[in-house]
Amino acid sequence: MYNVSEFRCAMCGNCCRGEGFVRIKADEAPRIAEFLGLSLDEFLRRYTRTPEIKSQARAGDLWFVDKPGPEQDCIFLENNLCAINPVKPQQCIGFPLKWRTNDIMDYCVGIQRTEHED
């Protein structure tokens, strides 16, 4: 089992692509819009969609849209880096030390390397 205290992100970008969703809380939207130099309305129109999970939609949360294409990259993934890193949502900040998916060993190069070093 990997040791989370020794985790170092390998910047592979794999957690920012593929199946799943990037959830933003309504109160996170204004600072992301400001960072991008957009009005809140324009940011919401261009980059967000209604969550497919009804409880999240009812709570007023949003999901980022994906880039077009089969890889399902987050719309803000650029060359395996986050284009909004200083203002990225709490979901992104918390991964993988606060939360992770069950199959993280399949795609997170940082976790794979941490395990390899044990």
Which residues of this protein are in contact with ligand SF4, per CB under 6 A? 9-16, 22, 74, 76-77, 82, 84, 88, 92, 95-96, 107-110
Termini Cα distance of the chain: 9
Shortest distance, CB of residue 26 to ligand SF4, whole angstroms? 16
Shortest distance, CB of residue 30 to ligand SF4, whole angstroms? 16
Beta-bridged to residue 23, according to DSSP, are: 63
Shortest distance, CB of residue 51 to ligand SF4, whole angstroms? 15
Nearer to ligand SF4, 36 or 109 (CB): 109
Structure-derived torsion over alpha carbons of residues 64, 68, 70, 73, reported in degrees to the nearest 10: -40
**Contact indicator for 62, 23 with CB cutoff of 8 Å:** yes
**Contact indicator for 33, 42 with CB cutoff of 8 Å:** yes
Nearer to ligand SF4, 35 or 95 (CB): 95
Nearer to ligand SF4, 35 or 107 (CB): 107
3 state SS of 62: strand
